[in-house]
């Protein structure tokens, strides 16, 4: 774990302790469980966002990839448990496909990542609205299949184990495999990586594809959590994913960062919101403080980097 | 209207581009700056015209200054007219640019300076290189400056355009201006310059009114070729390792040659004659238009075995394997290694660990099912790092950026030594490296040749090519202009072959 990830963990710990002191019940398992579940959604999207940020890219298509996957899931699953495997496959497949197209556009056609993924976001938004005819699935009666909802039941909900699995997957991929090494090399210096035999384009495409997959996974989990898909479900997650990545100590320029840091970043963001809400800070105040906290953390990182 | 620089020093990163350099030019003279690549001419011009600041020393320049830099400064998406009138476009009421008059005014300027062949409405990017240079020069001339700096103004010009420029330079001089220019073509310096100042290694070594070509070359290269270089004459080149036929790529034009095992083949010539295109294309990172490359692989023995003990596919003789290189990965597979000049831009991943850096080109070899075998990697990396004495006992887990310049270059070399390639393309590998490390690198190269590796060697210091190579190919305008049997020994021979105009031109 690098120094910046260690800072991110420390910041998360401080915020959580502060929460425990300020609001009773926060430190209890039910309180913590709620924070963890909400943080897991940010954690999924931020996993994908981190992967593309590691090579100096960005994925702005997360909101509607997430939303499209959620709609695909509910409209193909129809709330029936026996249709769930098919629905899951289609939802994840849709996310991977969107990510693949993003990756091909960025790596092979040379479209700037901001333009490519923003365009993808718009296309998916239009497509989703068109196909669903603007109706949320609450109205059309397509609910989350029961097994998906069960992920959020129990003292230790299975959803958290899914997050743990995702965390292990990302961490192993990045630290133990040749692919991970190529990711960091590409992010650190794409030209030097290319001249050392790294298939920079292939790596880039794979990462955008994975980001699409993670956005879809977040969409699936959100359907299970809320019981249904709604339009606009993914809207908060663009900001959340980028904020979690940056607060998690991942260099926005690429080449540096770990998922441990991003988990800490996700927890920090959710804990700050939860504490503020518990303190009954009004909405406008919450938003301002939230923004200021992120700025303060980034300011601290910036100073730290100057001493590197 | 004087130009004086006294005791000027300027460093870029760790490289001292100018050290204690002094220069003076009088009004009403054409003053040439001569010297090899990296001698400090361009840096001096940038300091004199105020584009960069000197670290030490004083600079006094009086009068209206205009500069044509070596790197063209036209904005490619603007038209010729917009580029020419960028600083002072015709304005109407309210201070808005009067676009209707732009082209007319530009046409007037172009014809006044005898360059009416250029269409003022054409976007700069559509012009030929020589036309771009002409527009750039017109832009400078139109300022009617008192002091003019022209850095390599003729490099992109044809004979007729050189005459055109010479006329303008003389006119400015006769009007009392101070004209300072650089050129790699000795004939032009002889023809145009009233005085010449020769630079070597970042400082001025002589200023003369008259200077013969031979004297100039001696002054430019210096004659310090001691026992710095290992004796390569006792290494006898063996059979062919790489054959290049009719290669045309970038600036290269129909280049053919053979590189043999155990041979250090030098690539000489002035800067920008296609050397870089040659190296990158042979490594699969160029865009060849035509040509053929075949590689004969080494016999048995030296290949590193793969994880499960199977012999590597690289063992065994694969005669005349025609290679298609789409990307560097293909070249690496074909047993070719490329060590780049600019280790920060093309070699190192500065904030990754030394180990990650050294292991990068051979990751797949120490992996199982895509997982890195960390212990094998550590062993391989510490082995090579120890052998090259990289970082003086420092842990290979530290960031590569913490190494000194010389050690960084050694780390890049180490990466390629691990690939166990048959052919090493070494492109200006000693640039910006301290003397001791240079010495180490020379001996490393000789050791590689002794092991039967084939080496293609380019250096911006011609002296190195002369001292280290079995044979030298001199490139000019993308073609092999001369092949000098080695050891050449002295840099003058190579420099002379680089600037001597071909007899039939």
Please check whether residues B192 and B248 belong to one and the same domain. no
Chain B residues near residue A176 by CB distance under 8 angstroms: 371-372
- Count Cβ atoms below 10 Å from residue B387 Cβ, excluding itself: 12
Instruction: Kindly tell me the burial class for residue A88, based on how many C-beta atoms sit within 10 Å of its own C-beta (0-12, 13-18, 19 or more).
Output: buried
Q: What is the ipTM of this complex?
A: 0.86
What gap in Å lies between CA A202 and CA A122, rounded to an integer? 25
- pLDDT digits over A24-39, tens only? 778 888 888 999 999 9
Please report the sign of the dihedral spanned by the C-alpha atoms of residue B37, residue B38, residue B41, residue B46.
positive
Looking at residue B411, its pLDDT comes to 93
* Chain A interface test: which of B281, B283, B328 (most A C-beta within 10 Å): B328
Nearest to B348 among A176, A192, A199 (CB): A192
Q: In the predicted model, what is the mean pLDDT of residues B498-503?
A: 66
Looking at residue A275, its pLDDT comes to 86
Please check whether residues B170 and B267 belong to one and the same domain. no
- CATH number, domain of B463, equals 3.40.50.300
Chain B residues near residue A189 by CB distance under 8 angstroms: 345, 348-350
> Is some CB atom of chain A closer than 8 A to the CB atom of B350?
yes
Q: How many beta-carbon pairs below 8 A join chains A and B?
A: 71
- SS3 track for chain A: CCHHHHHHHHHHHHHHHHHHHHCCCCCCHHHHHHHHHHHHHHHHHHHHHHHHHHCCCCCCCHHHHHHHHHHHHHHHHCCCHHHHHHHHHHHHHHHHHHHHHHHHHHHCCCCCHHHHHHHHHHHHHHHHHHHHCCCCHHHHCCECCHHHHHCCCCCCCHHHHHHHHHHHHHHHHHHHEHHHHHHHHHHHCHHHHHCCCCCHHHHHHHHHHHHHHHHHHHHHHHHHHHCECCCCCCCCHHHHHHHHHHHCCCCCCCCCCCHHHHHHHHHHHHHHHHHHHHCCCCHHHHHHHHHHHHHHHHHHHHHHHHCC
* Chain A interface test: which of B352, B371, B399, B421 (most A C-beta within 10 Å): B352
Nearest by Cα to A212 from A123, A291, A95: A95
- pLDDT digits over B404-441, tens only? 777 888 999 999 999 989 999 999 898 767 666 778 89
Average predicted confidence (pLDDT) for chain B: 84
Nearest to B371 among A176, A188, A198 (CB): A176
Tokens of A87: 């629905």
Please check whether residues B198 and B110 belong to one and the same domain. yes
What gap in Å lies between CA B318 and CA B333, rounded to an integer? 13
CA distance A193 to chain B (A): 8
Under a CB-based contact definition with an 8 Å cutoff, are residues A167 and A161 in contact?
Answer: no
Partner A, chain B 77-116, Cβ-Cβ below 8 Å: none
Please check whether residues B40 and B145 belong to one and the same domain. yes
- Segments forming the whole domain that contains residue B152: 3-221
Chain B residues near residue A193 by CB distance under 8 angstroms: 349, 360
Under a CB-based contact definition with an 8 Å cutoff, are residues B205 and B57 in contact?
Answer: no
Q: What are residue B292's DSSP bridge partners?
A: B245
- pLDDT digits over B347-395, tens only? 899 889 999 999 999 999 999 999 999 999 999 999 999 888 887 667 8
SS3 call for B467: helix
> Is some CB atom of chain A closer than 8 A to the CB atom of B397?
no
Kindly report the backbone phi and psi dihedral angles of residue B252, in degrees, each rounded to the nearest multiple of 5, phi listed first. -75, 140
Interchain pair A196, B340: CB under 8 A: no
Interchain pair A192, B347: CB under 8 A: yes
> Is some CB atom of chain A closer than 8 A to the CB atom of B364?
yes
Q: What are residue B24's DSSP bridge partners?
A: B4
Count: domains in chain B: 2
- pLDDT digits over B113-155, tens only? 988 888 999 998 888 778 888 999 999 999 889 999 999 888 7
Looking at residue B86, its pLDDT comes to 86
Residue B504 maps to a domain: no
> Is some CB atom of chain A closer than 8 A to the CB atom of B370?
yes
- % of chain B surpassing 90 pLDDT: 40
Kindly report the backbone phi and psi dihedral angles of residue B271, in degrees, each rounded to the nearest multiple of 5, phi listed first. -65, 145
Residue B335 neighbours by CB under 8 Å, 6+ apart:
B295, B297, B298, B314, B419, B420, B421, B422, B423
What gap in Å lies between CA B478 and CA B183, rounded to an integer? 18
Please check whether residues B189 and B246 belong to one and the same domain. no
Residues of chain A with pLDDT under 50: 305-308
Residue A129 CA to its chain's centroid (Å) = 22
Alpha helices in B451-490 (DSSP H): 462-468
CA distance B459 to chain A (A): 19
Interchain pair B352, A178: CB under 8 A: no
Please check whether residues B76 and B7 belong to one and the same domain. yes
Q: How many CA atoms lie within 13 A of B258 on its CB side?
A: 9
Residue B358 maps to a domain: no
N-terminal to C-terminal alpha carbon distance within chain A: 16
Q: Kindly state the DSSP code that residue B304 receives in the 8-state scheme.
A: P
What gap in Å lies between CA B184 and CA B496, rounded to an integer? 11
Looking at residue B378, its pLDDT comes to 93
Tokens of B362: 């051979």
The last residue of one of the domains, among B221, B256, B287, is B221
Interchain pair A195, B340: CB under 8 A: yes
- SS3 track for B322-347: ECCCCCHHHHHHCCEEEECCCHHHHH
Interchain pair B328, A197: CB under 8 A: yes
- Count Cβ atoms below 10 Å from residue A175 Cβ, excluding itself: 15
Please check whether residues B252 and B205 belong to one and the same domain. no
Interchain pair B328, A195: CB under 8 A: yes
Residue B392 maps to a domain: no
C-alpha distances out from residue B314 to B298, B308, B334, B344, Å: 8, 15, 9, 31
Please check whether residues B245 and B212 belong to one and the same domain. no
Please check whether residues B84 and B41 belong to one and the same domain. yes
Nearest by Cα to A183 from B244, B360, B282: B360
User: Where do the structural domains in chain A lie, given as residue ranges?
Assistant: 3-306
Residue B404 maps to a domain: no
Task: Please check the confidence at residue B198 and state whether its pLDDT lies above 60.
Answer: yes
The whole model's pTM is what?
Answer: 0.75
C-alpha distances out from residue A105 to A108, A117, A200, A209, Å: 6, 9, 14, 11
- pLDDT confidence tier of residue B5, bands split at 50, 70 and 90: very high
Looking at residue B37, its pLDDT comes to 65
Q: What are residue B240's DSSP bridge partners?
A: B260
Tokens of A270: 């959710």
Interchain pair A198, B350: CB under 8 A: no
Q: What top-level class would CATH report for the domain A3-306?
A: mainly alpha
Nearest by Cα to B244 from B287, B284, B285, B291: B291
The residue among B82 and B432 whose pLDDT is bigger is: B82
Residue B491 maps to a domain: yes
The last residue of one of the domains, among B170, B187, B221, is B221
Kindly report the backbone phi and psi dihedral angles of residue A18, in degrees, each rounded to the nearest multiple of 5, phi listed first. -60, -45
Under a CB-based contact definition with an 8 Å cutoff, are residues B393 and B304 in contact?
Answer: no
- pLDDT digits over B299-355, tens only? 543 333 222 223 333 333 344 455 678 889 988 988 899 999 877 778 899 889 999
């Amino acid at each position: 774990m690098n120094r910046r990830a260690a800072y991110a963990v420390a910041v998360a710990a401080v915020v959580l302790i502060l929460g425990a002191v300020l609001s009773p019940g926060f430190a209890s398992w039910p309180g913590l469980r709620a924070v963890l579940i909400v943080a897991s959604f940010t954690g999924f999207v931020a996993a994908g966002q981190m992967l593309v940020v590691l090579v100096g890219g960005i994925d702005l298509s997360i909101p509607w990839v997430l939303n499209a996957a959620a709609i695909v899931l509910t409209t193909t699953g129809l709330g029936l448990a026996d249709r769930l495997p098919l629905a899951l496959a289609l939802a994840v497949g849709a996310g991977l496909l969107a990510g693949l197209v993003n990756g091909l556009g960025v790596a092979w056609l040379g479209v700037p990542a901001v333009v490519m993924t923003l365009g993808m976001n718009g296309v998916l938004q239009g497509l989703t609205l068109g196909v669903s005819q603007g109706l949320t699935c609450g109205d059309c009666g397509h609910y989350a299949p029961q097994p998906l909802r069960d992920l959020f039941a129990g003292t230790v909900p299975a959803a958290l184990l899914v997050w743990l699995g995702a965390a292990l997957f990302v961490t192993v991929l990045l630290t133990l495999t040749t692919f991970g090494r190529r990711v960091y090399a590409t992010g650190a210096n794409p030209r030097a990586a290319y001249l050392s035999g790294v298939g920079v384009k292939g790596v880039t495409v794979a990462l955008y594809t994975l980001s699409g997959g993670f956005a879809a996974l977040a969409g699936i989990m959100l359907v299970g959590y809320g019981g249904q898909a709604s339009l606009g479900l993914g809207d908060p997650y663009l900001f959340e994913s980028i904020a979690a990545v940056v607060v998690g100590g991942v260099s926005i320029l690429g080449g540096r960062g770990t998922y441990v840091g991003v988990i800490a970043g996700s927890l920090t963001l959710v804990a700050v919101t939860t504490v503020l809400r518990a303190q009954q800070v009004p909405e406008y105040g919450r938003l301002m403080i939230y923004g200021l906290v992120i700025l303060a953390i980034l300011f601290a990182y910036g100073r730290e980097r100057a001493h590197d | 209207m004087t130009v004086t620089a006294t005791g000027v020093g300027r460093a870029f990163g760790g490289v001292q581009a100018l050290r204690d350099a002094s220069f003076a030019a009088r009004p009403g003279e054409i003053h040439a700056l001569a010297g090899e690549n990296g001698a400090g001419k361009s840096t001096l011009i940038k300091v004199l015209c105020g584009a960069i600041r000197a670290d030490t020393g004083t600079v006094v320049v009086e009068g209206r200054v205009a500069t044509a830099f070596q790197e063209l400064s036209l904005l490619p998406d603007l038209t010729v007219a917009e580029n020419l009138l960028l600083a002072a476009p015709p304005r109407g009421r309210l201070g808005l640019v009067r676009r209707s008059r732009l082209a007319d005014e530009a046409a007037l300027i172009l014809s006044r300076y005898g360059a009416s062949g250029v269409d003022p409405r054409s976007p700069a990017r559509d012009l030929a290189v020589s036309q771009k240079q002409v527009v750039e020069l017109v832009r400078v001339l139109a300022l009617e400056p008192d002091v003019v700096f022209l850095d390599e103004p003729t490099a992109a010009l044809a004979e007729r355009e050189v005459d055109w420029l010479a006329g303008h330079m003389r006119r400015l001089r006769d009007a009392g201006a101070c004209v300072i220019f650089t050129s790699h073509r000795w004939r032009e310096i002889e023809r145009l310059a009233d005085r010449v100042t020769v630079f070597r290694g970042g400082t001025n070594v002589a200023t003369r009114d008259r200077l013969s070509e031979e004297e100039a070359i001696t002054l430019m290269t210096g004659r310090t070729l001691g026992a710095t270089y290992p004796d390569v004459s006792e290494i006898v080149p063996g059979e062919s390792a790489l054959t290049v036929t009719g290669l045309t790529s970038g600036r290269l034009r129909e280049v053919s040659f053979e590189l043999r095992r155990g041979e250090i083949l030098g690539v000489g010539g002035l800067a920008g004659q296609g050397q870089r295109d040659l190296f990158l294309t042979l490594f699969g990172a160029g865009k060849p238009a035509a040509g053929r490359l075949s590689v004969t692989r080494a016999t048995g023995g030296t290949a590193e075995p793969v994880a499960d003990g199977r012999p590597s596919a690289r063992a065994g003789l694969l005669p005349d394997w025609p290679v298609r290189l789409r990307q560097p990965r293909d070249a690496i597979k074909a047993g070719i290694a490329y060590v780049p000049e600019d280790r920060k831009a093309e070699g190192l991943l500065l904030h990754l660990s030394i180990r990650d850096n050294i292991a990068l080109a051979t990751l797949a070899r120490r992996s199982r099912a895509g997982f890195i075998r960390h212990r094998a990697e550590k062993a391989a990396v510490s082995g090579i790092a120890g052998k090259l004495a990289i970082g003086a006992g420092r842990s290979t887990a530290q960031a590569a950026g913490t190494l000194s310049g010389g050690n960084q270059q050694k780390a890049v070399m180490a990466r390629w030594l691990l690939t166990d390639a048959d052919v090493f393309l070494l492109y200006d590998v000693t640039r910006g490296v301290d003397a001791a490390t240079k010495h180490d690198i020379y001996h490393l190269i000789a050791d590689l040749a002794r092991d039967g590796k084939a080496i293609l060697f380019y250096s911006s210091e011609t002296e190195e090519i002369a001292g280290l190579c079995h044979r030298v190919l001199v490139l000019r305008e993308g073609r092999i202009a001369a092949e000098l049997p080695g050891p050449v020994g002295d840099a003058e021979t190579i420099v002379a072959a680089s600037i001597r105009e071909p007899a039939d031109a």
